[in-house]
Structure 1
Amino acid sequence: NPMLRGWINYFGKFNPSAMKYTLQCIERRLVKWAMCKYKNLRGHRRRAEKWLTSVRKREPRLFAHWSKMYSYC
C-alpha cells in the first residue's frame, strides 16, 4: 500500500494518462493472486474478478488504488 500510494501520487501528478494502465495491471495481478490462493477460483478468471469486486465493495479502503482507480478510468 505505501508503494502504491507513492506511485499514485507521483504518476497521478506527472503522467495521469499512464495511471489507467498501471492500475489495471495491478488489478489483473490481484486476480491472478486470488486464482492461485483459493481453490474454488483456480482456472476461473471471471469468478475471481467477481470475488474481487465483492471484496472491493465490502472493503473499499483495503488497497490504496481502489479509491483512486475509478477517478482515472
Structure 2
Amino acid sequence: NDVVRGWINYYEKFGKTEFWKVMCHLNRSIAYWAKTKYKRLRRRGVISAHYWLAYIAQKEPNLFYHWQVGYVPYARQKK
C-alpha cells in the first residue's frame, strides 16, 4: 500500500490518464492472484475473479489505498 501510495502521489500530477491503465493492471493482477488463491474462483475464469474483486471493492472500499482514492475495479452488469 505504501508503494502504491507513492505511485499515486507522483503520477496523478504528471500523467493521470495513462496512470489509470496502470491501476487497472494492478486490479487485474489482484484478480489473478485471487483466482489462484481461492479454489472457488479457480474453477471459473478470470472474469469471475474480476466480478468477485469488484464485489469485494464495493463491500470493503478501504481495503487498498488505490480503492480509497477512486481506482476501484468495476464489473459490467450481466445480461
Instruction: Flag whether TM exceeds 0.5 (same fold).
Output: yes
Aligned-partner Cα distance in 2 for 1:48–1:56:
12
Partner of 2:34: 34
Aligned-partner Cα distance in 1 for 2:29–2:62:
18
Higher relative contact order (CA 8 A, sep 6+): 1
- Structure 2 residue runs of 5 or longer lacking an equivalent are 73-79
Among all aligned residue pairs of Structure 1 and Structure 2, give the percentage whose two residues are the same amino acid.
Answer: 37
**How well do the aligned residues superpose, as a CA RMSD in angstroms?**
1.3
The structure with the largest helix share of the pair is: 1
Q: Does 1:58 align with 2:48?
A: no
- Structure 1 residue runs of 5 or longer lacking an equivalent are none
Moved over 2 A (4+): none
Calculate the TM-score normalised by the size of structure 2: 0.80
Q: How many residues align?
A: 70
